[in-house]
């Protein structure tokens, strides 16, 4: 297996005949004959190779073995097969090696170069590289780590499925500060609702902040019947900052701070909000008092968060039936609030940061980084548990 003979009596190398060459490669791909394919690559390099081309037999055979092991039949491959192979090299090593060891990320440059040479060989043979098979944008791409970290005005990457109640977060066009709701993906079944139908059946409705409440009001008005039915059923609603402003009787912006004009609100809160040119920006720590019903489970808790708004006229917290309105961002990031409302605390941010630290240690040459920062030869001992770390800054990086 793997031998390629000259045509009997003709003395011709089959790699010099385009039709015979194509048939050889197609048959070898179908049978998984790695030896014939490597021999063909060597013939290609000899005839059409560029300066520096070298057949990396181990890499090519490992890739073909990987595809065969995964049950793939050429050319019907999955788009991510190549990247999956590179990830395996990084995490486990070459599957054909006697004692596989994970590759260093920089080694992928050589691996990708070997596979690109394989692709050029397939083109020369008239077979071609499988359509749709994705190459990494750069050799280090397979080392990317997908982290569940909060993102300003966005969503968590690949939210895990929650086991708790359905929570609908109303995703109006100018919704803001959505990162404060990152714990919900672990504590509940979260839906980012763009229509009332998507929010149907939720136990908790959340109206997040808004960069432009006056412009989001027409969008939110379509949700008013749903919100009213929700409150009549005694189900909880949380309205934060701009979300609370839109539930007031009116938004007044005479100076055009955000959008000049008088805008009727949804009328669920007995307040009128006036936009002030000076913006309130303040960290807050408060003890919750006077809450009842569903929100009564937060009674007496001390919570931390922040205010950031132009609107004036609402109290910091106000409960109207099962509706809780607040200026305070970050309420659901408090572990005590998570435990009181959902029975447990979320750990997503902690786990994400740990995964980030692990990825840095795995994929960075930390010794080279320490040398560049001038940290070699210095020891920064860990502080005992509970002790304050010494106030010592590392030296600046050396001047060029």
Structure token digits, residue 316: 């910091």
d(CA 20, CA 40): 12
Residues recognised as catalytic? 241, 329
How many other C-beta atoms can be found within 10 angstroms of the C-beta atom of residue 106? Answer: 11
User: Counting beta carbons within 10 angstroms of the beta carbon of residue 384, is it exposed (0 to 12), middle (13 to 18) or buried (19 or more)?
Assistant: exposed
Helix (H/G/I), strand (E/B), else coil: 214: helix
Of 319, 318, 316, 286, give the one whose Cα is nearest residue 304.
286
Residue with tokens 């379509």: 222
Three state DSSP letters for 13-73: CHHHCHHHHHHHHHHHHHHCCHHHHHHHHHHHHHHHCCCCCCCCHHHHHHHHHHHHHCCCE
Structure token digits, residue 256: 């055009």
The torsion defined by the Cα of 217, 167, 322 and 150, in degrees rounded to 10, comes to: -70
d(CA 258, CA 277): 9
């Amino acid at each position: 297996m793997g031998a390629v003979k000259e045509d009997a009596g003709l003395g011709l190398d089959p790699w010099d005949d385009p039709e015979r060459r194509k048939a050889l490669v197609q048959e070898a791909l179908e049978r998984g004959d790695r030896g014939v394919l490597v021999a063909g690559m060597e013939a290609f390099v000899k005839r059409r190779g560029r300066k520096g081309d070298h057949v990396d037999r181990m890499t090519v055979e490992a890739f073909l073995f990987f595809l065969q092991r995964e049950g793939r039949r050429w050319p019907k491959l999955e788009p991510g097969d190549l990247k999956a192979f590179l990830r395996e090299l990084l995490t486990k090593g070459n599957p054909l090696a006697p004692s596989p060891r994970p590759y260093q990320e920089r080694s992928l440059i050589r691996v990708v170069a070997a596979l690109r040479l394989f692709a050029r060989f397939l083109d020369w043979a008239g077979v071609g590289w499988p359509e749709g098979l994705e190459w990494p944008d750069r050799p280090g791409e397979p080392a990317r780590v997908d982290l569940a970290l909060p993102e300003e005005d966005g969503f968590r990457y690949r939210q895990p499925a929650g086991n708790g109640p359905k929570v609908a977060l109303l995703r109006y066009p100018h919704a803001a500060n959505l990162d404060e709701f990152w714990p919900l993906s672990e504590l509940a079944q979260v839906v980012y609702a763009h229509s009332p139908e998507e929010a149907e059946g939720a136990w908790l409705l959340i109206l997040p902040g808004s960069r432009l409440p006056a412009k989001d009001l027409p969008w939110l008005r379509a949700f008013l019947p749903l919100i009213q039915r929700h409150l009549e059923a005694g189900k909880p609603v949380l309205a934060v900052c701009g979300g609370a402003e839109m539930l007031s009787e009116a938004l007044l912006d005479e100076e055009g701070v955000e959008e000049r004009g008088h805008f009727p609100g949804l009328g669920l809160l007995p307040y009128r909000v006036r936009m002030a040119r000076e913006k309130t920006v303040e960290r807050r720590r408060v003890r919750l008092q006077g809450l009842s019903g569903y929100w009564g489970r937060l009674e007496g808790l001390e919570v931390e968060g922040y205010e950031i708004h132009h609107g004036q006229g609402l109290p910091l917290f106000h409960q109207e039936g099962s509706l809780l309105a607040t200026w305070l961002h970050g309420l659901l990031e408090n572990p005590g609030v998570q435990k009181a409302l959902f029975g447990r605390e979320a750990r997503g941010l902690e786990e994400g940061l740990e995964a980030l630290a692990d990825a840095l240690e795995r994929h960075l040459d930390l010794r080279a980084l320490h040398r560049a920062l001038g940290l070699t030869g210095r020891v920064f001992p860990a502080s005992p548990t509970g002790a304050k770390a010494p106030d010592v800054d590392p030296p600046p990086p050396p001047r060029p």
